[in-house]
Chains A and B, each alone.
Chain A
């Protein structure tokens, strides 16, 4: 029995403590669980593996044909290498042996064999060859993808106190975290700014990211995730568990109903600040209403939209959205239309953060977009609906979206289906292009929503899911302050509502900067709601406005942060 307690350090990404058993989530793209087979399952598992090899081979052949047509036979040689790996005994036969000898599932076999090969590659002196591990990495991802294509990850196999451990957990799979069985999250990559972390916080699942080498953790190991200090304790002693357990129980999702206050939120000098809640799942609206949130300033609809890995049909969306609006009663709900591609890595090397994301995706997949819009309009009779378009970089895209919206409305008119004709349509200001031209977009929209997470990522050219550059992601950077100041200045004369809904609004010092820059409407995640409410009630708006003027002249983020903290600290909490 392993007994030596070991502490791994990472970054605190979602607060709280959890004690549970490790479950390996192997690949960044696909959550797969390692499990032992029963003797009679081995044959089927080998067959499943072989099918995924065959499917991968067919995909690669098709790709090769296309490449040959487009750019001649020379360019397709890299695909030859991939195809040859798929018939390589060292790889394929070894995986089959693993499945048979150790009676493990195909994903686990692939993981073991590829880990050995990766290690061998890493030992090579030749830098070019070391880089070739990328080919193997591609094949592994392809095989896993094809293994998983028709299989939904089964959460029934999970222990009731599962702690997901993996190199990365993609946000696209995060809706699965709603499974009550998952109590913690540990990843090697990612940062507190990644979508995964945002989701973990909104679900109140303790998470540590950027943890050093996790390969020593075996499935089933007892772990303590300390999301407050950013550390993970592997195989803790009984004394350690006893020490943590009471805190773990307290930090479990028990803090549902917080302070309910329906009084308008004002600064001490009487400035009315509107504070909304960001939600990722429809059911969170219950908590938002119970907590007395003034509005749902941002509902990220993509997680519910792609709930089971498939797109939803209109009827079920209408039912969900109507239900949500009924629960919200007269509280306005801002539905951000689906934004896909966030923080994801694709296996063909495309960076979706600079590619087909947000509205771009919707304009390319108009069927999906129209389905969602029809559902939103049909549900709009049940409450106060607002529609928000994400990731917009040109007025052309905005116009295209508006014309699709008016077509959808005409279609509903023709069919005599009731909807609210006054649903406001807004735009997310989250690309540098939108920040520079938000005034030019004004005539096409009814309101604005500032997405600071992406804005900071694109302004400071920092990939927020990349832990190595995370220290450069800083909302106090003068470039960000100037950008926000510019947006405010451009939009002030236009007098259309502006809400700031990024993570920045949920961090008290950053939120104080936003107020100082003039923004009077914020929307934050549920766990952050009460602390931002308290911050607002403890500050003077006039004082923050003065502070911001000083901030805008500062050179360094740390000086900015210092002054903000000093200004906040000077006030009684």
Chain B
């Protein structure tokens, strides 16, 4: 398993359009991809392939997320997802 912390760079945060793109991007990998709101006391989690869970993370520009990838392509997945989230 790989993990890295990233700060959301998108101006509107993970809203409909950005969330949709994230799901589409995640679908290209074998690994599981989980996002955790580290700046949130409840440390809410989302599955990067579930648009509803991403929207419910309610992450804005500047929110801190920990990205965890686990699987055969976990390195590339981590790299690409973090790159996308940083905007």
In the assembled complex, B34 has its CB within 8 A of some CB on chain A: no
In the assembled complex, B16 has its CB within 8 A of some CB on chain A: yes
In the assembled complex, A126 has its CB within 8 A of some CB on chain B: yes
Name the one of A78, A90, A117 contacting B47, with C-beta atoms under 8 angstroms. A90
Q: With the chains together, A132 CA to B24 CA distance in Å?
A: 19
**Interface segment out of the listed B1-9, B52-60, B65-73, B79-87:** B52-60
Q: How far is the CB of B57 from chain A (nearest CB, A)?
A: 9
Pair B16/A77 contact, Cβ less than 8 Å: yes
**Interface segment out of the listed A79-87, A371-379, A452-460, A463-471:** A79-87
Name the one of B19, B20, B50, B58 contacting A126, with C-beta atoms under 8 angstroms. B58
Pair B15/A90 contact, Cβ less than 8 Å: no
Name the one of A80, A89, A126, A135 contacting B49, with C-beta atoms under 8 angstroms. A89
Q: How far is the CB of A525 from chain B (nearest CB, A)?
A: 46
> B14-55: which have CB < 8 Å to A?
15-17, 19-20, 23-24, 47, 49-53, 55
Pair B47/A89 contact, Cβ less than 8 Å: yes
Residues of A within 8 A of B47 (CB): 89-90
Pair A129/B50 contact, Cβ less than 8 Å: no
Pair B60/A77 contact, Cβ less than 8 Å: no
Q: Looking across the interface, which residue of chain A has its beta carbon closest to that of B51?
A: A84
Pair B52/A136 contact, Cβ less than 8 Å: yes
In the assembled complex, A419 has its CB within 8 A of some CB on chain B: no
Pair A125/B58 contact, Cβ less than 8 Å: yes
Q: List 19 A-B contacts (CB under 8 A).
A: A80-B20, A84-B20, A84-B23, A84-B51, A88-B50, A88-B53, A89-B49, A90-B50, A91-B52, A117-B52, A120-B56, A121-B56, A124-B56, A126-B13, A128-B12, A128-B15, A129-B58, A132-B16, A132-B55
Q: Looking across the interface, which residue of chain B has its beta carbon closest to that of A80?
A: B20
* Chain A to chain B: the 8 pairs with minimum beta-carbon distance, closest first: A84-B51, A80-B20, A90-B50, A90-B52, A88-B50, A81-B16, A81-B20, A126-B58
Q: Looking across the interface, which residue of chain B has its beta carbon closest to that of A129?
A: B58
> A262-280: which have CB < 8 Å to B?
none
Name the one of A89, A91, A129 contacting B15, with C-beta atoms under 8 angstroms. A129
Given known A77-B20, A78-B16, contact A85–B52 (CB-CB < 8 A): yes
Interface string of A91-133 (1 = CB under 8 A from B): 1000000000000000000000000010011001110110010
Residues of A within 8 A of B50 (CB): 88-91
Q: With the chains together, A488 CA to B37 CA distance in Å?
A: 67
Inter-chain pairs besides A84-B24, A84-B51, A126-B60, 14 sampled, C-beta below 8 Å: A78-B16, A80-B20, A80-B24, A81-B16, A81-B19, A81-B20, A84-B20, A88-B51, A88-B52, A90-B47, A120-B56, A121-B56, A126-B58, A128-B12
Interface-central residue, B15, B50, B52, by most chain A CB under 10 Å: B52
Interface-central residue, A84, A85, A136, by most chain B CB under 10 Å: A84
Q: With the chains together, A124 CA to B53 CA distance in Å?
A: 12
Pair A135/B58 contact, Cβ less than 8 Å: no
Given known A125-B58, A126-B58, contact A81–B51 (CB-CB < 8 A): yes
Q: With the chains together, A194 CA to B23 CA distance in Å?
A: 43
Given known A80-B20, A81-B16, A81-B20, contact A129–B55 (CB-CB < 8 A): yes
Pair A124/B51 contact, Cβ less than 8 Å: no
Residues of B within 8 A of A120 (CB): 56
Q: How far is the CB of A469 from chain B (nearest CB, A)?
A: 30
Q: How far is the CB of B55 from chain A (nearest CB, A)?
A: 6
Interface string of A195-231 (1 = CB under 8 A from B): 0000000000000000000000000000000000000
Q: With the chains together, A8 CA to B81 CA distance in Å?
A: 50
Q: With the chains together, A78 CA to B24 CA distance in Å?
A: 13
Interface-central residue, B13, B49, B56, B60, by most chain A CB under 10 Å: B56
Pair A85/B51 contact, Cβ less than 8 Å: yes
Residues of A within 8 A of B17 (CB): 77, 81
Q: How far is the CB of A95 from chain B (nearest CB, A)?
A: 12
Q: With the chains together, A135 CA to B20 CA distance in Å?
A: 12
Q: How far is the CB of B71 from chain A (nearest CB, A)?
A: 16
Residues of B within 8 A of A78 (CB): 16
Q: How far is the CB of B83 from chain A (nearest CB, A)?
A: 20
Q: With the chains together, A443 CA to B20 CA distance in Å?
A: 58
Q: With the chains together, A124 CA to B60 CA distance in Å?
A: 12
Residues of B within 8 A of A135 (CB): 16
Q: With the chains together, A500 CA to B19 CA distance in Å?
A: 55
Residues of B within 8 A of A125 (CB): 58
Q: With the chains together, A132 CA to B20 CA distance in Å?
A: 13
Q: With the chains together, A77 CA to B22 CA distance in Å?
A: 12
Q: Looking across the interface, which residue of chain A has its beta carbon closest to that of B18?
A: A77
Residues of B within 8 A of A81 (CB): 16-17, 19-20, 51
Pair B20/A90 contact, Cβ less than 8 Å: no
Q: With the chains together, A80 CA to B20 CA distance in Å?
A: 7
Q: Looking across the interface, which residue of chain B has its beta carbon closest to that of A133?
A: B55
Q: Looking across the interface, which residue of chain B has its beta carbon closest to that of A124?
A: B58
Q: With the chains together, A89 CA to B47 CA distance in Å?
A: 9
Q: How far is the CB of A331 from chain B (nearest CB, A)?
A: 58
Residues of A within 8 A of B56 (CB): 120-121, 124
Q: With the chains together, A81 CA to B51 CA distance in Å?
A: 7
Q: How far is the CB of B45 from chain A (nearest CB, A)?
A: 12
Residues of B within 8 A of A132 (CB): 15-16, 55
